[in-house]
Amino acid sequence: MESIRVETVVKQFGGVRALDGVSVEIAPGELFFLLGASGCGKTTLLRCIAGLEIPTSGSIHFGERDVTKLPPHKREAAMVFQSYALWPHLTVGQNVAFGLEERKVPKAEIRIRVAEALDMVKLSGFGDRSIDQMSGGQQQRVSLARALVVKPKCLLLDEPLSNLDAQLRVEMRREIRRIVKENGLTAIYVTHDQEEALAMADRMAVLSNGKIGQLGTPEEIYRTPRSAYVANFIGETNLIEGEVQEFRSGFATVQTGGGPMVGRVSDPNWHPTAGEKVTLSIRPEAWRLGTAQDNHLTGKIVERTYLGQRIQYWIETAIGRQQVVELNPHVIHEPGETPVIVQSRHDDVVVLKA
């Protein structure tokens, strides 16, 4: 178990700056997520930590050790690849044993540890199978076992579940988290699937354009996004533009095209002044269909999607379409119904810098 410290890492590929001064510190034993749209630099950052890329500038530390220029095979940072990267010329057991053999572990011990690792991923007895006899989910678990068996200083996972079907993915989330926690591993997990990150992460960083947009626990990031990008990327949201009228003890009253609304200011260090342009973020589930109180808009239902456990409406208002989600709906409204009123709590309206 070791901490990982990334300091102002820059990675330049020709004219493209894939990482633009990223700094982050990951605590020992933490399951940390790197999240972002494709091309945001998350995989590049992971590969820099693995040693598969050398940063153009900046440094990376494992504990007290500077590993920035250390080649990958000396880092003891085992990686699980998106494509699994299992060697087709070796059996399941030989794949798992590989890292131990490279560490010159005695043969008898290798046999025991491979069996344990396969057991941990629920593949006992599959050691003699060849790789192409394994299903996608099994291959994923072999690659996990192969990385875990060497007891790495840190475990790096590059979208390990993206090739699995939806049901298996949900199952494997719990499995990976259990294994990481049981082994007390420091793990960095790259994904573009925000649900995966919310469900599994201790903390996460949302990257955009090679920079960290926001860093925090899943709850912090979902409930208190610091930018429209983060609000939009993690979950869905309705964005409304407006102008600050008044700011008092963390809440601002904002004049919008649909009337004044009160919202929570996301950044505690930011004291917006009257007249400042801001953006409001309201989650679809934060809107409730109801009666006119403060923080409300009036409109007409233009579209409806029934999703079983929940129902999704698009409501046309004076300031654009609002997405509204109701869980376990009591009444199902029809498209064309007018007028409808949507209303939200002050706490659920987040005030962002425009």
Q: Which of 16, 25, 57, 87 binds other proteins (CB under 8 A)?
A: 87
Q: Is 148 helix (H, G, I), strand (E, B) or coil?
A: helix
Q: Least Å distance between CB 209 and other proteins?
A: 25
Positive or negative torsion for Cα 337, 341, 344, 349: positive
In this chain, which stretch among 12-20, 84-92, 167-175, 240-248 interacts with other proteins, using CB under 8 A? 84-92
Residue 98 interacts with other proteins (CB under 8 A): yes or no: yes
DSSP 8-state symbol, 153: S
Using rule CB under 8 A, residue 71 touches other proteins: yes
Q: Label residue 91 exposed, middle or buried (CB < 10 Å: 0-12, 13-18, 19+).
A: middle
| Binding residue for other proteins, selected from 63, 72, 137, 329, defined by CB under 8 A | 72
Collect all residues with Cβ–Cβ distance below 8 Å to 131 and sequence separation of at least 6.
Answer: 86, 87, 88, 90, 91, 92, 95, 139, 142
Query: Binding residue for other proteins (CB under 8 A) from 6, 45, 77, 176?
Result: 77
Rounded Cα–Cα distance for residues 268 and 42 (Å): 27
Q: Which residue has the tokens 């993206």?
A: 162
The CB-of-73 to other proteins minimum distance in angstroms stands at: 5
107 binds other proteins (CB under 8 A): no
Count the Cβ atoms, other than its own, within 10 Å of residue 12.
Answer: 14
Does residue 258 bind other proteins (CB under 8 A)? no
Asked if 259 touches other proteins (CB under 8 A), the answer is no
Q: Which helix (H) or strand (E) holds 285?
A: none
Measure Cα distances from 325 to 67, 286, 353 in Å: 47, 8, 25
User: Does residue 78 belong to the site contacting other proteins (CB under 8 A)?
Assistant: yes
Cβ distance to other proteins smaller for residue 79 or 244: 79
With H, G, I as helix, E, B as strand and everything else as coil, classify residue 149: coil
**What span, in angstroms and rounded, lies between the C-alpha atoms of 319 and 172?**
42
Q: Which of 102, 119, 182, 347 binds other proteins (CB under 8 A)?
A: 102
DSSP per residue over 305-339, as a string? EE-SSEEEEEEEETTEEEEEEEES-SSPPPTT---
Candidates 75, 141, 151, 223; binder of other proteins (CB under 8 A) is: 75
Binding mask 4-43 for other proteins (x = CB under 8 A): ----------------------------------------
Give the nearest distance from C-beta 43 to other proteins in angstroms.
12
Task: Tell whether residue 64 is a contact of other proteins (CB under 8 A).
Answer: no
Q: Which range touches other proteins (CB under 8 A), out of 86-94, 166-174, 186-194, 270-278?
A: 86-94
Q: What are the counts of helices (DSSP H) followed by strands (DSSP E) for the chain?
A: 8, 20
- Contact between 134 and other proteins by CB under 8 A: the answer reads no
Tell which one of 34, 50, 187, 352 touches other proteins (CB under 8 A): 50
351 scored as a contact of other proteins (CB under 8 A): no
Member of 15, 106, 132, 273 binding other proteins (CB under 8 A): 132
146 to 175, contacts with other proteins by CB under 8 A?
A: 146-147, 150, 156
How far apart are alpha carbons 93 and 78 in whole angstroms? 17
Rounded CA-CA distance 28/348 in Å is 33
Q: Closest CB to other proteins among 132 and 334?
A: 132
- CA dist., res. 37 & res. 5, Å (int): 23
Among 14, 15, 89, 306, binds other proteins (CB under 8 A): 89
- To the nearest 10°, the Cα dihedral for 126, 80, 66, 23? -150
State yes or no: residue 99 binds other proteins (CB under 8 A). yes
Asked whether position 223 contacts other proteins by CB under 8 A, the answer is: no
Using the rule CB under 8 A, is 73 a contact of other proteins?
Answer: yes
Footprint of other proteins (CB under 8 A): 50-52, 71-79, 81, 83, 85-89, 98-99, 102-103, 132, 143, 146-147, 150, 156
